[in-house]
A and B are shown apart, each in its own frame.
Chain A
Amino acid sequence: MSADTDTTNDNTPHSAHDAEGETRRDFMQLLASAFGVIGGALAAWPLINSLNPAKDTLALATVEVDISGIPKGEAKTIMWQGKPVFVRHRTEEEIKMAEAVEVQSLTDKQSDKERVQRPEWLITVGVCTHLGCVPVGQKMTDTRGDYGGWFCPCHGSHYDTSGRIRKGPAPKNLAIPPYEFINDTTIRIG
């Protein structure tokens, strides 16, 4: 911006009339900038929104699972929304252990009843609530941690037979996905 002699651009008020003009101009500038910001945000929104999960990704949001072949004490891993879901066929002993725990003593206070629809089937998202590793403990021969459920090898979280956090850095219990029993041997997750 060199020696521009256009007096309408001059910012120093010379007279009352000019000063009045300045405030109006200031207001116009403010208004224009505000519209610019709003317009920019509106224009950016579709770009940002396109990064949200696409329709086909969302469409993969339900799966049906045949659970008849899972022996007692073992669990099956199913992919749901790109995440593992554990379907565990609990033994009587495991159910008893899960129900016997005093809820008040837990980090994330949930009773076993709140976490299952049918006691012998525990269905949880197999993602550690700490930083997202997959805990081990699907097979009876796996390390299942101090509470007989799952053990997350990443930073050492121990889950019990209800998938509740008992020890280690994870803040919450393993999540329960939405699911329903279609019949005795089939569930729909999602």
Chain B
Amino acid sequence: MGHGPRDGFDNPIIEWVDSRLPIFTMMQKEYGVFPTPRNFNWFWNFGAIAMFMLITMIVTGIVLAMHYTADTKLAFDSVERITRDVNGGWLLRNLHMNGASFFFIAVYIHMFRGIYYGSYKGPRELLWILGVVIFLLMMATAFIGYVLPWGQMSLWGATVITNLFSAIPFVGEEYIMPLLLGGFSIDNATLTRFFALHYLLPFVIFAVVFLHIWALHVTGSNNPLGIEPKGPQDTLPFHPYYTMKDFFGMIVFMILYAWFVFYAPDALGHPDNYIPANPLVTPPHIVPEWYFLPFYAILRAITFNFNLFMLAGLGLLAVFMVEFIWRYKPKYLSGAQGILLLVAGGGLAVFGLLADFNQTWAIPMTASTDVPISAKFGGVLAMFGSIGLLVVLPWLDSHPIRSARFRPLFRVAVLVFTLSVFVLGYAGSQPSDKVYLSACLGDAQACEAIEHGNADHIEAGHEPTVLALDNTMIAQAFTALYFSFFLIILPLLSRFEKGRELPTSIHEAVLAKKQKAGA
């Protein structure tokens, strides 16, 4: 970096520094004249907004840390003291607390932009992957930060999530859990290490953001048309065009953020976190922060074990998927073999699932104590898998057109996918056994008894069948949709979608639009 030729500066002090360390030349090159596509829309504001939120979190966090005490006996009170007694402490805490939410809002919009306009495609794969790494680090940081105030949700949220690691076969319970917690439960040793990590991770994020932006400045930005700029007529210098546009967007975003900070600071949080942590009493309904809800729903959607029959079946289905969906032409197998795979794989998987639901059948190797992947571990794999898919997204979607504007089918798929993430978020916020719809089939009297909660009075032999659509089923259906978007829909679209004709260049498209608007 910064080894290129220098133009020099008029100001002698700047020139003195720059000739020894060309930092001003670099800033000028990367943020001054940096050629940027001229057709950005507002979605391109959210990178800068996320950067602003990261800095806000680090600055407010450092000051909060000066007043905070990481000790289970004192932590809750020290946070209360921050909000009541420390000068302006309420403001700092509200900024930090809601800042986490707004950081996630900015990053989620930023990620949606990346998917909708195909920014993850070559040559920007690594840029996208670094973004997913930032997202993972943010989730870790926010999860750990939420433990620090040591309220009921802090403790129990952390208990539920750290317990996920106990699902790792062989080593989870005995080695990983004690190492993670520093004891046998979430306690003082856990709180102190979480605080240390909560201080550290944002700086790690900062470093990865640096790499992310470095990679961006190698490839240049994508844009709403998804075609590369061909020359100076397609670009504008970053300053003043996009510095101003980013600044304006940031101010609008800050107004919204400030509204929450000043008028609804607890609207996004959970009231139970104002009850001091109590290791003997679990709150009746544990929910994570809103930004984790879709992933929490995926975690809870896996209510069944993966026994050997299911794994074998899924393995065969995976072979089918790779050979007949991912490859443009099947390489090793004939069509008949494909059908055989599909039937055998599907059959085995369904049989395994039924065997799991009906433990009374006592089919060998299906008891929940001797399955290779328990429901709990399956949930963990599904949750991390749902983020892992983002990493390989550039290879699952190999369609040559980037922007959804020119891919009508992809556009619908992305919007349905986005909707399914929202539905998963809702499902994550509700109790698993909540019933949305139910139908009672059979004896009318008995059905009435059930409706009135006197199921005990039903005569033997007259029990009706109750069909119910509960929250778990919703979560399962939309988890299936989430995974099939990546594994089936995108590869199929890459293969079959025609797409619209692309404009020849950015400036022509922009001018054509102007003319149409003027006419």
Which residues of A line the B interface, CB within 8 A? 48, 51-54, 57, 77, 79, 81-84, 104-105, 107-109, 127, 130-134, 136, 152-156, 169, 171-172
Name the one of B164, B187, B303, B359 contacting A131, with C-beta atoms under 8 angstroms: B164
Listed residue (A81, A131, A152) with the most chain B CB atoms within 10 angstroms of its CB: A131
Q: Are A131 and B163 neighbours in the complex by a CB distance under 8 Å?
A: yes
Determine if A84 and B279 form an interchain contact, defined as CB atoms under 8 angstroms apart: yes
Chain B, residue nearest A135 (CB): B282
Question: For residue B303, which residues in chain A have a CB less than 8 angstroms away from its CB?
Answer: 169
Alpha-carbon distance between A74 and B163 when the two chains are bound, in angstroms: 28
Nearest Cβ in chain A — how far from B171, in angstroms?
A: 13
Name the distance in Å between B369's Cβ and chain A's nearest Cβ.
Answer: 6
In the complex the two chains form, what is the Cα distance from A152 to B180 in whole Å? 24
B182 near A82 (CB under 8 angstroms)?
A: no
> Could you list 20 A-B pairs, sorted by A, with CB under 8 Å?
A51-B182, A53-B183, A53-B189, A57-B187, A57-B189, A77-B280, A81-B185, A82-B186, A83-B184, A83-B279, A105-B359, A105-B360, A132-B160, A132-B166, A134-B281, A134-B282, A153-B284, A156-B432, A171-B374, A171-B375
CB <8 Å contact, A133 and B286 = yes
Other A-B pairs beyond A133-B286, A169-B376, 7, CB < 8 Å: A48-B179, A51-B193, A79-B280, A83-B184, A131-B163, A132-B163, A133-B282
B156 interfacial by beta-carbon distance below 8 Å: yes
Q: A79-B279, A134-B280 are in contact. Are A171 and B369 (CB under 8 A)?
A: yes
List residues of chain A with CB within 8 A of the CB of B183. Answer: 53-54, 57, 81-82
Going nearest first, the 10 A-B pairs with the smallest beta carbon separation are: A81-B184, A82-B185, A132-B163, A133-B282, A131-B160, A131-B163, A132-B159, A134-B282, A82-B187, A57-B183
B453 to chain A: closest CB distance in Å? Answer: 15
Contact present for B369 and A109 (CB under 8 Å): yes
- A52–B181 CA distance with the chains assembled, in angstroms: 8
A169 to B299, CA, bound (A): 12
CA distance A131 to B380 in the complex (A): 11
Q: List the A residue with the shortest CB-CB distance to B164.
A: A131
B285 within 8 A of A: yes
Chain B residues with Cβ below 8 Å from A152 are: 282
Give CA–CA (A136, B181) in the complex, Å.
24
Q: Is B85 an interface residue (CB 8 A)?
A: no
Docked Cα-Cα span, A169 to B160, in Å, equals 13
Q: Give B residues with C-beta under 8 Å from A.
A: 156, 159-160, 162-164, 166, 178-187, 189, 193, 279-282, 284-286, 300, 303, 305, 359-360, 362, 367-369, 374-376, 432-433
* A133-B359 contact given A52-B182, A82-B187, A83-B185, CB 8 Å threshold: no
Give the residues in chain A near B375, CB-CB below 8 Å.
169, 171
With a cutoff of 8 Å between Cβ atoms, the chain A residues found around residue B286 in the complex are: 133, 154
- A153-B285 contact in complex given A51-B179, A131-B164, C-beta closer than 8 Å: yes
Cβ distance B182 to chain A, nearest Cβ, rounded Å: 6
B88 CB to nearest chain A CB (Å): 36
A42 to B234, CA, bound (A): 55
A79: min CB distance to chain B, Å: 7
Q: Please, how many angstroms separate the alpha-carbon atoms of A46 and B31 in the complex?
A: 44
Distance A84 CA – B374 CA, assembled complex (angstroms): 25
Whether A171 contacts B189 by the Cβ 8 Å rule is: no
A54 touches B367 (CB 8 A): no
CB atoms of B376 and A131 under 8 A apart:
yes
A52 CB contacts on chain B under 8 angstroms: 178-179, 182
A127–B369 Cα distance when bound, in Å, is: 18
| B376 contact set on A, CB distance < 8 A | 130-131, 169, 171
**Residue of B185, B193, B282 touching A153 (CB-CB under 8 A):** B282
Query: Smallest distance from the beta carbon of A77 to chain B beta carbons, Å?
Result: 6
Which residue from chain B places its CB closest to the CB of A49 in the assembled complex? B179
* Complex-state Cα separation, A127 to B476, whole angstroms: 26
Q: Which of A53, A81, A132 has the most CB of B within 10 A?
A: A132
Contact A82 B279 (CB under 8 A): yes
What is the CB-to-nearest-CB distance from A112 to chain B, in angstroms, rounded to a whole number?
A: 17
Closest B-chain residue to A175, C-beta based?
Answer: B173
Q: CA A154 – CA B153 in complex, angstroms? A: 12
User: A132-B163, A133-B156 are known contacts. Are A53 and B182 too (CB-CB below 8 A)?
Assistant: yes
| Residues of chain A with a CB closer than 8 A to B359's CB | 105, 107
CB distance from B109 to the nearest CB of A (A): 31
Q: Which of these, A107, A155, A171, contacts B432 with CB under 8 Å?
A: A155
Closest chain A residue to B377 by CB distance?
A171
- Distance from B371 Cβ to chain A, minimum over Cβ atoms (Å): 9
In the complex, what residue of chain B is closest to A84 when comparing beta carbons?
B280
Complex contact B368–A107 (CB within 8 A): yes
Residue of B nearest to A81 (CB): B184
Closest B residue by C-beta to A138: B280
Instruction: Give bound CA distance, A185 to B504, whole Å.
Output: 88
Give Cα distance in the complex from A133 to B163, angstroms.
Answer: 10
A107 to B356, CA, bound (A): 10
Q: Which residue of chain A has the shortest Cβ distance to B300 in the bound complex?
A: A155
Shortest beta-carbon distance from A23 to chain B in Å: 34
Q: How far is the CA of A118 from the CA of B286 in the complex (A)?
A: 36
Contacts of A48 in B (CB 8 A): 179
Name the residue in B186, B279, B286, B368 with the highest tally of chain A Cβ atoms < 10 Å from its Cβ: B368
CB distance from A56 to the nearest CB of B (A): 10
A43 to B432, CA, bound (A): 46
Bound CA span A130–B376, Å: 7
Complex CA gap A152/B283 in Å reads 10
Q: Are A133 and B160 in contact (CB under 8 A)?
A: yes
Complex formed: what's the CA distance from A160 to B153 in Å? Answer: 28
Closest chain A residue to B186 by CB distance? A82
Residues of B within 8 A of A133 (CB): 156, 159-160, 282, 286
Looking at the assembled complex, report how far the CB atom of B203 sits from the nearest CB atom of chain A, in whole angstroms.
18
When distances are taken between beta carbons in the complex, the residues of chain B under 8 Å from A104 are: 362
Contacts of A83 in B (CB 8 A): 184-185, 279
Closest residue of chain A to B371, judged by CB?
Answer: A171
Min CB–CB distance A148 → chain B (angstroms): 15
Question: Which residues of B lie under 8 Å from residue A108 when comparing CB positions?
Answer: 368-369
Q: Which of B160, B181, B281, B367 contacts A107 (CB 8 A)?
A: B367
Q: How far is the CA of A152 from the CA of B286 in the complex (A)?
A: 12
In the complex, which residues of chain B have a beta carbon less than 8 angstroms from the beta carbon of A132? 159-160, 162-163, 166
CA distance A130 to B265 in the complex (A): 33
CB distance from B185 to the nearest CB of A (A): 4
* Complex contact B160–A154 (CB within 8 A): yes
